[in-house]
Amino acid sequence: MRARIFLLAGLVLFFGLGSYLAWDISRLQSGLVRPSGKARQAAEARLAQLPSYPPIQRYQGFAVESDGIEIRVWAAAANRPEALLLVHGAGGGAWVWEALLPRLRQQFDVYALSWRGHFDSGEAREGNLELFTRDTGAVLRAIRQRKPGLERIHLVGHSWGGPVAIATALANPEAVASVTLLAPVLPLAYTPVQRFFYPNVIRPIVRRVLEAGRAGDSFKGMFLARSQMQRYLEAHASKPYSVEKPGLLADDGFLPERQALLVRNNVELVKLQIPLHLALARYDNVIPPPRVRAWGVAWNSPAEEFESGHYLMLDAAYPEVADWLLKRLARPVLVSR
């Protein structure tokens, strides 16, 4: 009888603890919205009605050195008075901005870099927030040298490019006119349980995305319009992510101490008193929209929402994203407490 009681108690404890762990970890991804078939069909229909932009192309540009590694930069410049520097996310490159470039270049000189180990830049042994911030800072300074009359540059960062754009602004406050974040990676508020379990759950996923480059199933859930995703996978599959140790970025980004740094940087951004703009993707399967909205409230910069997957600057909503960017950059909103 006593053995049965101990067995029953053990089972209750086991399943109770398991249920708590599942619930506690799932809270970090609460707010994810799965697109319905109708939403995907609507995105494809909207995409079909859009005027076609020039086929995928490489823009002429230049290269700078960062820690001895060649960092390639696309440039769509016509000596306009203001400039944008576009900062991609992990596993991407300058190519992720191709749909926006024809529209943005009408009002700005536009530059898009590829971090070390990404797209057409030099290969690298590792990649993390500090190293990618160095790459971005080197390009920022090079643009100012190439355009002597240019005082400040607008930074636009997507996904992991968000924290990098913020860190770059903090390191070069005199050179940054504004920061715009598109579906940015934002700090996680780890509970003790999440602190131990969640990084071990998310790391394999991020590694798989990075190791696959742009050609793999990992990107299927990041687009609302699947035909648009396929266009870019086919065009860029030949140049995968080339950091030798892709797991380092995954490990680095989700460590609790790294998350604490992201929080500090987000708080420090307020002190710069520069305009901040924030956008989220309704069907983002990477960054939960509620987390973006919450930081928008904290920054006093409400997030704009687009009917899109994580790659909102490539998905069917890209014309709206381009128009929103131009409108917001024409009407600065200071980030405040």
- The predicted pLDDT at position 215 comes to 42
Split the chain (337 residues) into runs of 10 and give each run's mean pLDDT. Answer: 69 67 57 78 83 62 95 91 94 86 92 91 87 96 92 95 96 96 82 62 58 50 73 57 54 69 89 93 87 91 93 90 93 48
CA dihedral 133, 138, 143, 149 (to 10 degrees): 100
- The predicted pLDDT at position 333 comes to 45
- How far, CA to CA in Å, does 91 sit from each of 63, 243, 273, 302, 309? 19, 9, 31, 28, 16
Report the distance separating Cα 250 and Cα 169, nearest Å.
23
Q: What crossing angle do the helices spanning 129-146 and 161-171 adopt, rounded to 10°?
A: 60
CATH 3.40.50.1820 holds for 31-330: yes
- The predicted pLDDT at position 163 comes to 94
Report the distance separating Cα 304 and Cα 302, nearest Å.
7
Report the distance separating Cα 246 and Cα 204, nearest Å.
11
Report the distance separating Cα 9 and Cα 328, nearest Å.
59
Beta bridge partners of 176: 153
Per DSSP (E only), the strands in the chain are 61-66, 69-76, 83-87, 109-113, 153-158, 176-182, 276-281, 304-306
